[in-house]
C-alpha cells in the first residue's frame, strides 16, 4: 500500500505541488489538503502518518512568516495534532513549514503552544534565493538516517531564515543534538559568515529535529533537488539528487 501523505496548504502556499511530486517519486500517495478542510473536519489528520507543511508565503508572511498558520494549528487543531503525534505521526516542515513549526512550538522541543525560538529576517535584510551547502548532522531525526556527516547542496529561498533563541535554549538544543542541518563553507565547516550562511542563523542552524526524531524542519528546499537536472551544474558534474533521501526516509519511517 502506498503511504498517504497530507500536504497542508492554505492561501500563499507555493511549494505544495513540487513537494507532492517528490513524494510521488518515492512511491507515496500525496494529498493536497487545505487547512480549512481540516478545520471543517472534512479531512482527519489522524487518518495519516505523515504531515508535511511545504514552503511558500502563507497569508503573505503577514505579522511574521508562518505566524498565522501556526496560530490556526495551535488554536483550531491542537487536539487533533496531539492525537496524531501520540499515535506516532511524523511531521516535516520545509522553509515556510519550518517557520510554522517553530512558531507552534513543535520545534525544537515538540511542545505545541510553547514557542521557544524564532526565524528572524535574514541578517542582510533581503530575500536570498540560491544554492547553499548543508552538512547533515547527527541528530535523532528519522528523516536524515544514513546521511549523517554528508554535505549536500540544496536551494535556499527565503527572507526570514535567521534562527534565533536565547543562550539557555541554544545550549539545550546543542546538548540534545537537535541540530539536523548546518550551513557550511567550501571546506565543510559550519559558518556564520555570509554568503555560505545566507541568513546569519545562530550556530549555522539550517534545520532542527525534535527530541523524538519524528518532527523535522529545514530552511532550504529538498523538494527542489529530486531530479539530477534540477542542479545548475548538471551538464558538467553528475551530482545525485540530494534532496530525495528526506522523502525516502520519511516514507520508510511512516511504514512504506
Ligand X SMILES: NC(=O)CC[C@H](N)C(=O)O
Annotated active-site positions, please? 95, 221, 223
Q: How many residues does the chain have?
A: 256
89 binds ligand X (CB under 6 A): no
Backbone torsions φ then ψ of 215, nearest 5 degrees: -125, 125
List residues bridging with 93 in a β-sheet. 53, 217
- Give me the half-sphere count of Cα atoms (radius 13 Å) on the Cβ side of residue 169: 17
158 binds ligand X (CB under 6 A): yes
Q: Closest CB to ligand X among 108 and 220?
A: 220
Minimal CB distance residue for ligand X: 55
Sequence-distant (6+) residues with CB within 8 A of 75 are none
Q: Closest CB to ligand X among 122 and 139?
A: 122
Task: State the binding string over 121-140 for ligand X (x if CB under 6 A, else -).
Answer: ------x-------------
Sequence-distant (6+) residues with CB within 8 A of 41 are none
67 binds ligand X (CB under 6 A): no
Q: Where are the alpha helices (DSSP H) in the chain?
A: 16-25, 35-39, 67-76, 78-86, 96-104, 167-175, 244-253
159 binds ligand X (CB under 6 A): yes
In angstroms, rounded to a whole number, what is the distance separating the alpha carbons of residues 217 and 12? 19
Piece of the chain touching ligand X by CB under 6 A; list 53-61, 105-113, 164-172, 184-192: 53-61
96 binds ligand X (CB under 6 A): yes
Grid cell locating 38: 481540516
Q: Closest CB to ligand X among 55 and 108?
A: 55
Piece of the chain touching ligand X by CB under 6 A; list 83-91, 101-109, 134-142, 155-163: 155-163
Min. distance of Cβ 193 from ligand X in angstroms? 20
- List contacts with ligand X (CB under 6 A): 55-57, 61, 65, 95-96, 127, 157-161
Amino acid at each position: 500500500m502506498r503511504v498517504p501523505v497530507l500536504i497542508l496548504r492554505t492561501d500563499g502556499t507555493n511549494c505544495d505541488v513540487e513537494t507532492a511530486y517528490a513524494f510521488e517519486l518515492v512511491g507515496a500517495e500525496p494529498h493536497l489538503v487545505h487547512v480549512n478542510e481540516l478545520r471543517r473536519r472534512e479531512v482527519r489528520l489522524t487518518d495519516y502518518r505523515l504531515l508535511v507543511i511545504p514552503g511558500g508565503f502563507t497569508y503573505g508572511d503577514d505579522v511574521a512568516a508562518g505566524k498565522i498558520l501556526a496560530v490556526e494549528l495551535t488554536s483550531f487543531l491542537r487536539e487533533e495534532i496531539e492525537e496524531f503525534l501520540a499515535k506516532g505521526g511524523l511531521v516535516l516542515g520545509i522553509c515556510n513549514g519550518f517557520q510554522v513549526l517553530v512558531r507552534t512550538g513543535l520545534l525544537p522541543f515538540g511542545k505545541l503552544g510553547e514557542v521557544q525560538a524564532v526565524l528572524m529576517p535574514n541578517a542582510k535584510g533581503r530575500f536570498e534565493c540560491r544554492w547553499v551547502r548543508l552538512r547533515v548532522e547527527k541528530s535523532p531525526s528519522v528523516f536524515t538516517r544514513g546521511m549523517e556527516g554528508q554535505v549536500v547542496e540544496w536551494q535556499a529561498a527565503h527572507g526570514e531564515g535567521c534562527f534565533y533563541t536565547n543562550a539557555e535554549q541554544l545550549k539545550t538544543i546543542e546538548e540534545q543534538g537537535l541540530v539536523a542541518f548546518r550551513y557550511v563553507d567550501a571546506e565543510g565547516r559550519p559558518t556564520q559568515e555570509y554568503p555560505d550562511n545566507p541568513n546569519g542563523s545562530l550556530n549555522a542552524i539550517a534545520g532542527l529535529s525534535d527530541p523524538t526524531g519524528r518532527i523535522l524542519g529545514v530552511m532550504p528546499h529538498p523538494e527542489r533537488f529530486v531530479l539530477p537536472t534540477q542542479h545548475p551544474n548538471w551538464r558538467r558534474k553528475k551530482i545525485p539528487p540530494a534532496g530525495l533521501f528526506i522523502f525516502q526516509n520519511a516514507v520508510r519511517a511512516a511504514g512504506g
